[in-house]
Amino acid sequence: MRNAENEAATFTNLKVLQPKHLFIACLNEKTGVLGEISLKCTIDITSLRAMNKNSDNFSTQNKTNSIFFNIGVTEDVIKVFEVAISYMKKYNQTLVNEGHLLKALITTNVTDNFLSDEDREKILTLGTTSRDMITHLGNYIFPKTNSPIIRKVNHNDATDLVLFVQKNFSKEWSETIRKAFLLSEPSIYIALDNRGDIIGFAGFDIYKNKKCYFGPMGVSVSNRISGVGYSLLHKCLKDMSNIGYEYAIIGDAGPIEFYEKACNAVVIPYV
C-alpha cells in the first residue's frame, strides 16, 4: 500500500492513487507469489505508467479520500478494498492479504483495460489460491514462543478435537483428524484456553499418510493474531526436525504470508 502511494505520487501529475498503482506495486514486489506473477505475466510497467498519465483527468472527477492513504484515491480504489475485506471475512481470516487484494482487483473489473484474459487467469491461479510451500529445517533456529497451554493430544481428546475442527473449519479436516486418532501416537498438538477449551490445533504426517507434510492447522477466529498459530506451527516443526526431516512441506498454505514470515517458507512454483 505504501509502494502504491509512492507510485502515484512519483509517476502521476495529479497525485491521485488508482487501481493501476496498486497493481504496479504488486508487480514490483519480487518475493513470494507476487514475484512469480511478475515473472510469468507479460505486463510492461512502463506502459502502465503511461496509461496512468493519460487517465489523470478522469481520476480527478471521482477523487475521494481514504483512511488507508495519505493522498487522494479514486472511488475504484475504495471499491477494491471493500471487496478485498469481504473476501477476508468470507475465508474467516483477520487480515487483508495480497491474495484478497489481487482477487478484488480482478473481480471488480478495474483491471480490464490493461490486463488480458490470459494474464487475469494466471493471476487468479498464482496469487489467489492456496499453494504448497516448503521450509528448510536442517539449520532452522527455533524461536522461543509465548503461548497459552499447548500440548500433544492423547486419545481422550479425539471427540472434542474432531467436533472443534468440524465446527470451525471443514468436514474434510475433521475427517483427517479422526483418522489420525487411529494411530497409536497421533502427531497433533492442541492449544487450550484458561478454561481448558480447545482454541487451535496443528498436525503433521497425518494428511493422507504423507510424510514431511505439515498440516492441517487452524485457530479459532477470536484467538488469531495472538501467537497461537505461530506456537503450534513451531511445536510441529520442532518434532519434524527431531525425526530427521530436512524439509517440511506445508500443503495448501493459506495465508501464504504467515508462513513466509513465521518460518521462512517459500512457495513451490508451478512448473
Q: Same structural domain for residues 29 and 147?
A: no
Question: What is the structure's pLDDT at 249?
Answer: 97
> Among the three residues 74, 98, 129, which one is the final residue of a domain in this structure?
129
Question: What is the structure's pLDDT at 104?
Answer: 97
Q: Same structural domain for residues 112 and 10?
A: yes
CB atoms within 10 A of CB 130: 13
Q: Same structural domain for residues 139 and 261?
A: yes
Q: Residue holding cell 505461530? A: 230
Question: What is the structure's pLDDT at 148?
Answer: 67
Q: How many domains does the chain have?
A: 2
Question: What is the structure's pLDDT at 226?
Answer: 82
Q: Same structural domain for residues 180 and 257?
A: yes
Q: Residue holding cell 524461536? A: 143
CATH code for the domain in which residue 253 is found: 3.40.630.30
Provide CB contacts within 8 A for 262, sequence distance 6+. 229, 230, 233, 234
Domain span holding position 72: 2-129
216 preceded by cis ω (within 30°)? Answer: yes
Q: Same structural domain for residues 146 and 226?
A: yes
Question: What is the structure's pLDDT at 31?
Answer: 83
Average pLDDT, 10 consecutive residues per value, the chain (271 residues):
93 87 92 87 85 58 87 95 94 88 95 91 89 94 83 97 96 97 96 95 94 96 88 96 97 88 91 68
Task: Please tell me the distance from the alpha carbon of residue 41 to that of residue 109, in angstroms, as a whole number.
Answer: 18
Question: What is the structure's pLDDT at 225?
Answer: 78
Contact 54, 68 (CB under 8 A): no
> Among the three residues 129, 162, 197, which one is the final residue of a domain in this structure?
129
CATH code for the domain in which residue 19 is found: 1.10.1780.10
Q: Same structural domain for residues 212 and 245?
A: yes
Query: In three state form, how does the secondary structure of 64-88 look?
Result: ECCCCCCCEEEHHHHHHHHHHHHHH
Contact 34, 27 (CB under 8 A): yes
> Among the three residues 111, 129, 147, which one is the final residue of a domain in this structure?
129
Q: Residue holding cell 514486489? A: 29
Q: Give the Å distances, CA to CA, from 259 to 137, 140, 141.
A: 14, 14, 15
